[in-house]
Each structure stands twice: as structure tokens, then as C-alpha cells.
Chains A and B, each alone.
Chain A
């Protein structure tokens, strides 16, 4: 065996997972003991996955529209507000978000999501990235799920970083008819440091038909979007359909830019047909936090 093999033992893949049960109009916290690395070593989280399932006969709901999550690492919050799970990553394979298995004695619907973090998140020894899940009233009864952190251990000779790269997500969700616009409570940088914006994600739900569309193309819908930045600069100049802004393949708009401190993106949504339609938009980025 090569004499340098000792160094190879130090970096190992890690996968931490915990199930949770989420009732309607309720919240749930997974077992944090399951979500911490058992050997009191620092790890790096690179990807988060969610699997959701409900008993459903016939409907193929996209459950990520119904379940919201909020993540925090100690006092460092990854989200300004709770965010629908389906907004965190891109829509890599929509078929896996809307699975309905009627071959079981109890027909079951499944939804799977994956968020590759914009930067790996350093989790110090003994620390836990905590998840909280929220859900409103949707008529699907008890929901079960699994949250999974995927990453690797940190080599023991690697010093604790002085600056932490912390992802940051800010959502905007319409809940009115006809017209709604965001403000400083939504796609906003509340910090005194800039945020590197990785992408914007966007989807549209139609709750009345239990269709949680991965893409905003809704027959007969004339929803359009305008977007400005903090200076009034046009991001989306003409009234544009959500499916053009957030492409139908990935339901995302990769921007890779910098939002300065206290910067904001303002989004105006027009022609929302009814309260059953809801436009979901999120801003995904990363910031530096000094430890």
C-alpha cells in the first residue's frame, strides 16, 4: 500500500438523511441528530434533496409547490422567508416531480427535488444545518418526506475558514388577482454585503385543478411579467410571459451577477386570472459571512 494513503482517508463522501411527517396547515422539523455528522468532524454540504409523498388517487400534484422550507446554520439564515421547495433548484427532470403510482393498494404520488448549492456550505464540527418545513391547507392529507444533505468530510488538516459562503434565497409569491408587485420584503438583499446572484427561478401554480405546473404555460392565461433592478434599470422590459423569462426546460433564469447591499429586484405580475393562479419566483445567491 502506498505510504501516503493516510491522507486519502480524510476526505470521504457523506450523506445525511431524515424522514419527516407534515400535516396540513402545520410545520415539521426533521430529526437534527440524523442531520449531523456523527464523528464530530467538519463537513461540507454541496447538495440538498427532498422527496415528498402523499396518498393520492388520480391527481399528479407537484408537491414542491405545497411544501415550504426554511434553512439556517446557527444564526446564519439561508432564506429570508420560507420558500417553496420547487423553487430552489432547476427543473432537471419534471417527470420525477410528478409521479403517480396507482399500482399500490394505496395509490401514492411522489415528488423529488434537488438543489445544488451555489457554493459548498461549510458546517463546523458539531453544527447542524437545520430544516423546517411548512405547509398550508391543500386537501392532500398527511404528507411524508425525506430531506437529504449530500457532501463530504473536510480534511482534518484544513483550517476553519474565516469567511463562510452562505447561500441565500428570497422568494416572491403572488396571492392576489389581476396584478401584484414585489417590494423590499421579497427579492431583496438585506445584508450590508453584496450577494452573488446565481439564478432566478420561476413557476406558476393553478391550484383549482390540482395542477402545479412546472412551467408557466397555462392555456388561456395571459400572465405577463416586468422586472426592474434597484436603479430602475430594466431587467424584463416588455410584458413577457413567465415561460419566456423562466425557460420551460429548467424553470430558471441563470444570471450570475452581483446584487449590491440593500439591492432589490422589483417584479410586476400582470393579468393574474384568478386567486387560483399563483406566480412563484425566487432569487438564489450566495453571500460571505465573517466568522
Chain B
């Protein structure tokens, strides 16, 4: 672990500070953590990261095309409450018949303003697969894939046409190679938590590629949804099973993150954000297949899955063994609520990662 990666860099900084001048030009200057152009100068702010150079392909078929052209594909459907449906998979294939790498998946759910929009992310579930490869363990709520990058911007209301849009995005941990002619096919389910019909749109942000990778990265998402707790007066406990946050594959799962959200139906309204105290009345303890604790003490939900991002980022080398799992113990405490009370509170916990494959 090194801040400046090499001692030479450090000594250059010291020398520069001592004489008040910039470091001399040095062709062997080591790469900085945030590389910038030109020699190191401690008085100058470093520059932005330069884009990676584009490597021109050797295959002449592609010489007239951009070697990494962006492509965005999307498809939509209307989901009735309690139903399932597929979007057009043809719309999610590369229209140029080329290989591509999937970089980001975007979900957009819209409905009438009268609906409880903040619940859309937990109401619409999505499973993903590409051919024989399943990418999800079960149907995952669309808010469970990515972290909340802009929590305050997830729900947008348009009073002029009385519509509400809810948007979530998931930047894949590693680009996912999709061969020409193939597609990642989503299947959507309306869990029926609210009676409204919902418009669902999925978008793939990708780029065309002309070289097959040597290693294929396949995302994997699994999900645990707690039982429905009485959100107020009653305490309760729940525990996940070996089939929930599981890596059933024969490859180790590289973890990207775990996400956590709480859905409430309270006083007739379904919501994710408020009342906030109820999220803090849910405590978690997490262990792995060997009984070792990831979260040793029962810890408030918003401390495990940070309030600002609704996630616990793990893209740091952490792995889950093949055919192993995490167990989540949930404790819900009673809280003193001033209003009439409500129906249910459920916690949604997702585990997002990827596995490496040598071939597809």
C-alpha cells in the first residue's frame, strides 16, 4: 500500500519543496494515482485523468467504423398490478449485428401522480438472463441493482401531465460482453404492492467492440426480502436462508456491493424514505457460510446500508466462495408512533457482484 507508489516520487516532492522549484523533467517519473500530463509540480494542481487511447483494430472489416462506438438500446412495456411481462428482446440486440459490451442498465418506472411513486422501485421486479446464463437469482426489485447515486433525484414529478417518473441506474462492475445476435433479456413482474398500472422502460448503455475478450465477466445478483413486519408497535425477527444471498455458481463471486432499502405501507401510503425512524428500528447482523461475522453486532439498517447511497460498497477485492452464502439476521424493534398505524414494513437486501468465465 503506497500513497505515491514509489519513493522516487516522494523524494521529488521533498526536493521541490526544499528549493521552491518544480521537479526536473524525468522520463521515468512514476505513474501517479491520478495521472496528469507533464512533470510533477507540487504547486500546480494536477490535471484531469486523460481518456484512454483508442487502439485501432487490425481487422480490416472494422477500419471504417469506430472501434468502440457507444450504443444505447431500450424497450418498454405496461405492467398491470400483480402481472409479469417481457419487453421486446429484439430491441435490446445490437442493431448493427456486432459484438458489444454492456456498461450500464437503466430502469425507468412511471405512473399516475396519484400513485405512491417512492414505492415503484420495490414494486417492479426484474430478472435478467442471456441465453443459458442467468444473471439474477430471482426477480430483483429495480432499486436493488445500483447504489443511490442521486437519492434526491430518483423521483421526479411532473404536475403538468400528472405523471411521476422514478429512475434507477446500475453501472455494471465490469463490462459484460454480449456476442452479436445475443441479448440480455429482462422479465418484469409487478409485485402488486400498489394497485396502479406502471410503465416500465429498461435501457442498456453499451459500446460496440471488435475483439472478443479473453475473460468474460457475468454479473450476478441475488436478493433477500424480509417478512412483512408490523412497522410500529410490534417487535419481530427474521433470518434469510441459504437460498437468498447466495452464490450458487461454480465460480467465486467478486462482490460489487450490497444494497438495502425499506418499504413501508403506513397510514395507507407506501413509501421508501419516510418515516425515517422505522428504518432505524430495524437492526441487522450478517454472517457468512462459515459463521464469520460481516456485521458482528446488531446494527441499525441505515448504518449497514448508508443513508446517502442505500448501499455498502464492496468492490475492493472481497469475494464470496462458490456455492456459499451470507445469512442476515433481522431484528425489528417496536417504535412509538403518533398516528394510527399501518400495515407492513419490509427490508430489501440485494447482493451484487460478478464472476469470471473463460468462455461463454
Residue numbers of A with Cβ under 8 A of B are: 1-2, 5, 8-9, 11-18, 34, 38-39, 44, 46-47, 49, 51, 53, 92-96, 99, 101-106, 108, 110, 112-114, 119-120, 122, 146, 148, 150-152, 161, 163-165, 193-194, 196, 229, 231, 233, 255-263, 286-288
A108-B277, A150-B312 are contacts. A288–B302 as well, Cβ < 8 Å?
Answer: no
Apart from A51-B300, A152-B317, list 20 A-B contacts with CB within 8 A: A1-B250, A2-B251, A2-B322, A8-B320, A8-B321, A15-B295, A15-B303, A93-B151, A94-B152, A95-B273, A96-B308, A101-B274, A104-B336, A148-B304, A152-B316, A194-B14, A260-B13, A261-B14, A262-B17, A286-B3
In the bound complex, CA of A165 to CA of B148 (Å): 29
With contacts defined as CB atoms under 8 Å apart, how many contacts are there between chain A and chain B in the complex?
A: 186
B335 within 8 A of A: yes
In the bound complex, CA of A152 to CA of B323 (Å): 21
Question: Which B residues are in CB contact (< 8 Å) with A99?
Answer: 274, 276
Closest 7 CB pairs of A and B: A260-B17, A112-B307, A105-B336, A93-B151, A96-B307, A17-B299, A92-B308
B306 within 8 A of A: yes
B257 to chain A, nearest CB (A): 10
Give the residue of B43, B252, B317 whose beta carbon is less than 8 angstroms from that of A231: B43
Question: Which B residues are in CB contact (< 8 Å) with A193?
Answer: 10, 14
Question: Which B residues are in CB contact (< 8 Å) with A12?
Answer: 288, 292, 294, 318
Give the residue of B16, B288, B314 whose beta carbon is less than 8 angstroms from that of A152: B314
B301 to chain A, nearest CB (A): 10
Main secondary structure of the interface of A (DSSP, over half): strand
Question: Which A residues are in CB contact (< 8 Å) with B317?
Answer: 11, 152
Verify B152–A119 contact, CB threshold 8 A.
Answer: no
B1 within 8 A of A: yes
In the bound complex, CA of A15 to CA of B306 (Å): 11
Question: Which A residues are in CB contact (< 8 Å) with B214?
Answer: none
Give the residue of B42, B276, B304, B337 whose beta carbon is less than 8 angstroms from that of A257: B42
B57 within 8 A of A: no
Give the residue of B43, B288, B295 whose beta carbon is less than 8 angstroms from that of A233: B43
Can you pick out 18 interface pairs between chain A and chain B where the beta carbons lie within 8 Å of each other?
A12-B292, A13-B255, A17-B299, A17-B304, A38-B296, A51-B280, A101-B274, A103-B277, A105-B336, A105-B337, A110-B280, A113-B308, A120-B1, A146-B299, A163-B3, A164-B1, A165-B3, A261-B14
Q: Closest B-chain residue to A38, C-beta based?
A: B296
Verify A17–B295 contact, CB threshold 8 A.
Answer: yes
In the bound complex, CA of A101 to CA of B274 (Å): 8
Verify A51–B312 contact, CB threshold 8 A.
Answer: no
Verify B43–A119 contact, CB threshold 8 A.
Answer: no
Q: Give the total of B residues in contact with A, Cβ under 8 Å.
A: 67
A38-B293, A257-B46 are contacts. A13–B314 as well, Cβ < 8 Å?
Answer: yes
A8-B252, A14-B294, A49-B303 are contacts. A231–B17 as well, Cβ < 8 Å?
Answer: no
Question: Which B residues are in CB contact (< 8 Å) with A34?
Answer: 296-297
Q: Closest B-chain residue to A165, C-beta based?
A: B3
B275 within 8 A of A: yes
- B118-134 vs A, CB cutoff 8 Å, 1 = contact: the mask equals 00000000000000000
B4 within 8 A of A: yes
A11-B317, A120-B1, A148-B303 are contacts. A5–B292 as well, Cβ < 8 Å?
Answer: no
In the bound complex, CA of A151 to CA of B3 (Å): 18
Residue among B1, B34, B280, B294 with the highest chain A CB neighbour number at 10 A:
B1
In the bound complex, CA of A99 to CA of B274 (Å): 9
A2-B322, A194-B42 are contacts. A288–B3 as well, Cβ < 8 Å?
Answer: yes
Verify A15–B151 contact, CB threshold 8 A.
Answer: no
B309 within 8 A of A: yes
In the bound complex, CA of A53 to CA of B4 (Å): 39
Residue numbers of B with Cβ under 8 A of A are: 1-4, 10, 13-14, 16-17, 20, 33-34, 40, 42-46, 148, 150-152, 250-252, 255, 258, 273-277, 280, 286, 288, 290, 292-297, 299-300, 302-304, 306-309, 312-314, 316-323, 335-339
Question: Which A residues are in CB contact (< 8 Å) with B10?
Answer: 193-194, 288
Give the residue of A38, A96, A104, A231 whose beta carbon is less than 8 angstroms from that of B335: A104
B193 to chain A, nearest CB (A): 20
Q: Closest A-chain residue to B289, C-beta based?
A: A9
Question: Which B residues are in CB contact (< 8 Å) with A163?
Answer: 1-3
Verify A258–B336 contact, CB threshold 8 A.
Answer: no
Verify A17–B297 contact, CB threshold 8 A.
Answer: yes
Question: Which A residues are in CB contact (< 8 Å) with B294?
Answer: 12-15
Question: Which B residues are in CB contact (< 8 Å) with A103?
Answer: 274-275, 277, 337-339
Give the residue of B290, B296, B318 whose beta carbon is less than 8 angstroms from that of A13: B318
Question: Which A residues are in CB contact (< 8 Å) with B20?
Answer: 231
Q: Closest A-chain residue to B299, C-beta based?
A: A17
Verify A114–B275 contact, CB threshold 8 A.
Answer: no
B78 to chain A, nearest CB (A): 31
Question: Which A residues are in CB contact (< 8 Å) with B288?
Answer: 12
In the bound complex, CA of A104 to CA of B300 (Å): 17
A103 to chain B, nearest CB (A): 4
Residue among A18, A96, A287 with the highest chain B CB neighbour number at 10 A:
A96
In the bound complex, CA of A47 to CA of B312 (Å): 10
Question: Which B residues are in CB contact (< 8 Å) with A102?
Answer: 338
B76 to chain A, nearest CB (A): 28
Verify A194–B13 contact, CB threshold 8 A.
Answer: yes
B69 to chain A, nearest CB (A): 31
In the bound complex, CA of A120 to CA of B315 (Å): 12
Question: Which A residues are in CB contact (< 8 Å) with B275?
Answer: 101, 103-104
A5-B252, A152-B316 are contacts. A257–B44 as well, Cβ < 8 Å?
Answer: yes
Verify A256–B312 contact, CB threshold 8 A.
Answer: no
